[in-house]
Amino acid sequence: MLVKKGLTNIIEDEDIFEYKDSEHLYTSSYSLKNTWRKEGSARNFGHPMHSMASRSGSFPPALADYFISNFSRVGDLVLDPYSGKGTTPFQACLLDRVGFGIDVAPEAYVLTGAKVSCINHEEAIDYLNAIKFGISNTNIKDVPPDVKVFFSTKTLAQILVIRERLLEDLGLESDKLDYDNGKVFHIAKTRREQLAQYWLGILTGILHGSSSYSLSLPCSHSFSMAPNYTKNYAKKHGLKKPDRNVKICMIQKSFYLQSAGIARVQGKAYLGKAQELPDSWEEKIDLVVTSPPYFTAQSYAWDNWLREWLLGFDFKNVRKQTTQTASYEKYSNAMYLFLKESHRVLKPGKRAFVVVGDVTKKSGDEKIVIRTSDVIANEGKKAGFDVELIINDDIPPTKRYNSSFLQANQGLTIDRIVCLKKK
């Protein structure tokens, strides 16, 4: 068994949890015993830039930091093909690796790009101050009523014009993306595109929440709330839509995000799919640290519908592109294709760490638990990987997805990290 080689430093308590109930797995599982957690709260660990936006389903920077520090070297290429808000690529850049992130959701792409482009505050301010904002081409009357629930007319008028100019500069137009052809749908190449992406990332991050620079009425920061619920809740609790100076809020947020400086190494963000990585990456990647969706455990498109509106996308169209399915066959196939691609782009002897949670499915009256990690291990083997190890990581009740709506025994209770190695 390959288990211990090169991985001993992450195993604290061997043999603590061994399961033999799945025939295809010849590996043991070990408890991670929180070895990756930093002093205090893992969520609070890390550079302020990580907090550009809270996004449900993200893993803590300390987790990415752990695997990047232990399994790659300075200058290495570190990839997350499901990059979300860019935790892995940005942490890689901070550790002087080159962080690459791919995600099919536009807000995830923009947030990742905003973090990895090494844009300093002064450069960003010069760019922003040079833009002539003028008046938006969108009439406020044409804004969907669901969007208007969140913003005062004054704030919304500024959001409309700022997003328009920044999207023009980034060149991101939802109706021009060809999802059926081409592997990467969008990338910010020029400095101007990257600067526009930086500010769009910040705007996305302050769009909703309850801090002093949030643009919406007080609501969740980590997901876009349902309009009707928000409307009724605001009425019941007398919540007000704030009038903000949007540009000033963006500048204040940028200032805070850069309060600990910026990374020295620039990474790259791609709007694309984990199942179709660029041809040119063949055997170029040194490490993959990632977390794909777990069946239908979460709806990323709906959870970010307002952010997607901001970027000119309809969440229903984004949802069609994401891997979100209750079908075991379809899910396994999507995981196989992602793992095959990860295997292709990794250098021989290098590793992929895949974080997934167990999910509960209803089958008639019965509830069955599916170990998504088994799917990853199985499909990883088919894709050519050695399955080295599965690490168990308990999720504390307060850190579970939608934790405020759950009982202590509900929600995803455990994450499993599948360690795969290319021969």
Residues in the site for ligand SAM, rule: CB under 6 A?
55, 57-59, 81-82, 84-85, 87, 102-105, 108, 273-275, 291-293, 300, 322-323
User: Smallest gap, in angstroms, from Cβ of residue 334 to ligand SAM?
Assistant: 7
User: Smallest gap, in angstroms, from Cβ of residue 342 to ligand SAM?
Assistant: 12
Residue pair 380/373 in contact by the 8 Å Cβ criterion: no
User: Smallest gap, in angstroms, from Cβ of residue 326 to ligand SAM?
Assistant: 14
Residue with CB nearest ligand SAM?
A: 84
Nearer to ligand SAM, 217 or 277 (CB): 277
User: Smallest gap, in angstroms, from Cβ of residue 322 to ligand SAM?
Assistant: 4
Nearer to ligand SAM, 57 or 411 (CB): 57
User: Smallest gap, in angstroms, from Cβ of residue 292 to ligand SAM?
Assistant: 6
Nearer to ligand SAM, 32 or 102 (CB): 102
Radius of gyration of the chain (CA): 21
Phi then psi dihedrals of residue 155, to 5 deg: -65, -45
> Which one-letter DSSP state was computed for residue 38?
P
d(CA 404, CA 395): 14
Q: Which two tokens mark 76?
A: 């290495």
Per-residue CA distances from 408 to 31, 33, 59, 147, 400 (Å) = 21, 20, 20, 33, 9
Residue pair 323/375 in contact by the 8 Å Cβ criterion: no
Closest CA to 419 of 344, 373, 354: 354
DSSP conformation letters of 312-373: T--HHHHHHHS---S-HHHHHHHHHHHHHHHHHHEEEEEEEEEEEE-EEEEETTEEEEE-HH
Nearer to ligand SAM, 102 or 376 (CB): 102
Residue pair 120/258 in contact by the 8 Å Cβ criterion: yes
The dihedral over CA atoms of 65, 66, 71, 76, expressed in degrees to the nearest 10, equals 10
User: Smallest gap, in angstroms, from Cβ of residue 384 to ligand SAM?
Assistant: 20
User: Smallest gap, in angstroms, from Cβ of residue 173 to ligand SAM?
Assistant: 19
Nearer to ligand SAM, 205 or 218 (CB): 205
66: CB partners within 8 A, 6+ apart? 10, 35, 36
User: Smallest gap, in angstroms, from Cβ of residue 31 to ligand SAM?
Assistant: 21
Distance of CA 293 to the CA centre of its chain: 10
Nearer to ligand SAM, 241 or 371 (CB): 371
Nearer to ligand SAM, 218 or 357 (CB): 357
Nearer to ligand SAM, 183 or 347 (CB): 183
d(CA 268, CA 90): 9
User: Smallest gap, in angstroms, from Cβ of residue 364 to ligand SAM?
Assistant: 29
User: Smallest gap, in angstroms, from Cβ of residue 130 to ligand SAM?
Assistant: 31
Nearer to ligand SAM, 102 or 159 (CB): 102
Nearer to ligand SAM, 246 or 271 (CB): 271
Residue pair 349/421 in contact by the 8 Å Cβ criterion: yes
Closest CA to 119 of 248, 247, 269: 269
Residue 281 burial (10 A CB sphere; 0-12, 13-18, 19+):
middle
